[in-house]
Structure 1
Amino acid sequence: MNPKKKGLRIAFGLVAGFLLLNLVWYGVTTIQYKPFLAAVPEHVTGVHAMTKNGLSYNVKTPDYLSYVGNLAVSDDKAGIWLIIWPTLFGDDEYGVRIQDKQTGYELMVNDQLKLLEPDAELQAILDRNKPEITRLVEHAKTVFPLD
């Protein structure tokens, strides 16, 4: 085969592969995040965020060629944030950020609000804040179409 034709075929294959990757990324992220974006209106800054009943809600769509975005519900007065990383197949991941007087804690939890990695100190902090975290989860489920 002519080396010039071979080079053109390789270049064409690379360009086609890159275009396909972009098309798949755009389709997946658009379909996955469309219901979340519809639930939270776009702010004048271009970010999907709103405040309702004293809670802040926002949607962060995935960055370019990433499939990871997040949903967040926060009660800034209580210093508690719930972050949800929706996945394509419904096995969403959850995180909680708790801000005490001078210390912040970031906890990875399951959908039952149990720590993914056992830790006595973090469990005590989670237990102390569980009613507020449960309230955030309930509000998240009323705003976002979660499974």
Structure 2
Amino acid sequence: MSYKKNILKISIGLVFGFLLYLAIHLYVNQQVINTYASGFGKNPLDDYVKSESNLILSVYDAPLFQTYTNLAIHNSKEKVDLIIWVPLYSKSLSYGLVVTDDKNEISYQIDVNEHLETEDDDYKELLKTKQTAINEIKSIAKKEWGLEF
């Protein structure tokens, strides 16, 4: 009898723990959405999107067991995308640029700092050639989300 009670207590504890995690996750994720997706519409994939100065801005919901989500700005003309990883439980953002070279059919995924600069010498020249597009992305991110680069 005691064995069954222990199993029941453990099961109830696990269910309660999961429900608590789910409630916290949903609340924190909604706070991120409220902060970054104000004025955005939902697309068919349930992502939040907005068009601004011929750029596409997007904000994504964090999946259930993921502790971060991301913001993105897509410049389809210049083939430069900014991705900003937003942790749900802290304020330290991480940044990356995706630069597509259609001529060579290659996409470069580049980790960058808070100024959208890379320490990787292999990519510094590539980013210099895309600096106009990067500056445009910076100004839109500042205008839309208040981010300073």
TM tier, shorter chain?
0.7 to 0.9
State the 1:140 CA deviation: 1.3
CA distance in structure 2 between the aligned counterparts of 1:90 and 1:138, rounded to whole angstroms? 21
What residue identity is the alignment partner of 2:26?
Y
Identity in percent? 26
Tell me the SS of whatever aligns to 1:50: strand
Give runs of aligned pairs for residues 8-87 of structure 1, distance below 5 A.
8-43=8-43, 46-87=46-87
State the 1:45 CA deviation: 5.4
CA distance in structure 2 between the aligned counterparts of 1:45 and 1:110, rounded to whole angstroms? 30
State the 1:106 CA deviation: 0.9
Question: Quick check: 2:78–2:130 contact (8 Å CA) kept in 1?
Answer: no
Give 1:105's aligned residue.
108
State the 1:46 CA deviation: 3.3
The superposition leaves residues 22-49 of structure 1 with CA deviations (integer Å, 9 ceiling, x where unpaired) of: 1111111111221222242223553311
CA distance in structure 1 between the aligned counterparts of 2:24 and 2:44, rounded to whole angstroms? 29
State the 1:90 CA deviation: 2.4
Aligned residues between the structures: 145
CA distance in structure 2 between the aligned counterparts of 1:72 and 1:56, rounded to whole angstroms? 8
Give runs of aligned pairs for residues 92-131 of structure 1, distance below 5 A.
92-100=93-101, 101-102=103-104, 103-115=106-118, 118-131=119-132
CA distance in structure 2 between the aligned counterparts of 1:81 and 1:58, rounded to whole angstroms? 11
Tell me the SS of whatever aligns to 1:38: coil
Unmatched runs of 5 consecutive residues or more in structure 1 = none
Give RMSD over aligned pairs: 1.9
TM-score normalized by the length of structure 2 = 0.86
State the 1:53 CA deviation: 1.4
Q: 1:45 to 1:120 in 2, by over 3 A?
A: closer
CA distance in structure 1 between the aligned counterparts of 2:95 and 2:135, rounded to whole angstroms? 12
Tell me the SS of whatever aligns to 2:37: helix
Tell me the SS of whatever aligns to 1:20: helix
Unmatched runs of 5 consecutive residues or more in structure 2 = none
Question: Quick check: 1:43–1:50 contact (8 Å CA) kept in 2?
Answer: no
Normalized per residue, the structure richer in strand is 2
Q: 1:119 to 1:29 in 2, by over 3 A?
A: same
CA distance in structure 2 between the aligned counterparts of 1:146 and 1:112, rounded to whole angstroms? 10
Q: Which has the bigger relative contact order, CA under 8 A and spacing at least 6?
A: 1
